[in-house]
Structure 1
């Protein structure tokens, strides 16, 4: 529902469909809108997901914050952002509800509406799905935006999919901030390293030794480990963030964490629960 750079016509919609936008699952999903298609109302972002391994496209900071929470959640199996609603079905629902369906202001072509997130979960072995609209709280009081949100709600209701609105007020600030601090360090194999397998080898050593440190900050412990393990300065902290992102090193993610945190805040996960991606 963000403002567009250019007019939308049937040719553009046909091209998006041909490209496979809005189709697929996991690593193969292609969002209907990408960051270069629309000028975002906030800052746009491209982030590689932990769950999917693909690059996700987000049009606001609030979307990114919710993505961090979803990507971190153990029950989540897939996250599809900028998910398109079936245009004919959405138009029919709008007609029945007395909602003016949105059209391009120049071409008068009916637009393809999108839901910010369509998320798959597995809870107690049962597959579930949830749709989310992510909006600034002030947008909820604007009549036209409220109408379009109602259209979105009715669309997912007809499909039997729970739907909800998420504003910044629903985002746990500390948790989202902690995930943001480590999220980009899941895939350390993407980073330049002295030799193949270096990070995997050193991460195992850092994980083994970090629990023995007491009375210093995480930064101080990591600086000492860089020297002790003959690593370039900053490597141990990089690997700590990697280990946290992989959930091999644990801390209370609901409280602010960072380089200045006491090293005692961090502990190795039990071997049975270590599900990380080293290397």
Structure 2
């Protein structure tokens, strides 16, 4: 079998391995980055929210994941979620569309993200991520119609996400400190850092953050990037906060605010 083959034998193996099953850190995506020929850059970012790596098949999926990871309304993320094959076959027949297949064999369709929300009225949200240019293709629209009907029958809201759905400045800001998501830092250390930085930010409020951090590294004879790394860490834990509609390289020291934290882990 080629590394991208999908057939009954492969599916039996995946099911035995727990793919498409579980929640939070125990969930295993149906498709993983090495199972799909990606037209973009695939990635496996860490999610502090769910405690595992997440399989993103493109930059657009990565951007979508980062916004979901950052949202406090999101409590669980299940990417590459499998749809019941018998059900999608019936929907395709009803709609008069050809079911997705590879080498003549019908394949399991997937939704890019099945998101569990804190909302009691809409606890689930299904997201399919597509570049806007793909939506002009008839075959793409047919597949989306099958997927949309699948979730409609389950009373789950379904949305198509394109590059126009995102605030790109916000995405880039989250990317700036996303590498710190996986860092386990005690709240005691975070509080100490926040207490040290807070009066400095207030005193140097009109100074650009990047310049301020560079100057402090020189004054304290630290490795270049040390101070900025501390700010990125504090931002990733939401201890330090700023308006994410402002590019991080433009923010002033006074744009940074600090919040009180509690608990035992960061």
Give the alignment's TM-score, normalised by structure 2: 0.90
Query: What is the alpha-carbon root mean square deviation over aligned residues?
Result: 2.5
Q: In the alignment, is the contact (CA less than 8 A) between 1:248 and 1:275 conserved in 2? A: no
Q: Which residue of 2 aligns with 1:180?
A: 175
Using the alignment, how far apart are the partners of 1:28 and 1:254 within structure 2? 34
- State the 1:114 CA deviation: 0.3
Match among 207, 211, 214 for residue 205 of structure 2: 214
Q: Which residue of 1 aligns with 2:240?
A: 249
Instruction: Name segments (4+ residues, structure 1) moved above 4 Å.
Output: 196-202, 227-231, 275-279
- State the 1:5 CA deviation: 4.7
Match among 234, 254, 260 for residue 264 of structure 1: 254
Q: Which residue of 2 aligns with 1:69?
A: 67
Matched, 1:20 2:37: no
- State the 1:126 CA deviation: 5.2
Give the alignment's TM-score, normalised by structure 1: 0.86
Using the alignment, how far apart are the partners of 2:37 and 2:264 within structure 1? 35
Q: Any idea what the Cα deviations from partners look like across 1:201-225, whole Å, max 9, x if unmatched?
A: 7634444344332332212322344
Using the alignment, how far apart are the partners of 2:55 and 2:77 within structure 1? 11
Using the alignment, how far apart are the partners of 2:262 and 2:95 within structure 1? 47
* Distance verdict in 2 for CA 1:266–1:197, change over 3 Å: closer
Q: In the alignment, is the contact (CA less than 8 A) between 1:247 and 1:276 conserved in 2? A: no
The 3-state SS of whatever aligns with 1:36 is helix
Using the alignment, how far apart are the partners of 1:10 and 1:228 within structure 2? 64
Using the alignment, how far apart are the partners of 2:262 and 2:155 within structure 1? 33
In structure 1, stretches of 5+ residues that fail to align are 191-195
Q: Which residue of 1 aligns with 2:123?
A: 128
Match among 8, 16, 23 for residue 6 of structure 2: 8
* Distance verdict in 2 for CA 1:277–1:171, change over 3 Å: farther
In structure 2, stretches of 5+ residues that fail to align are none
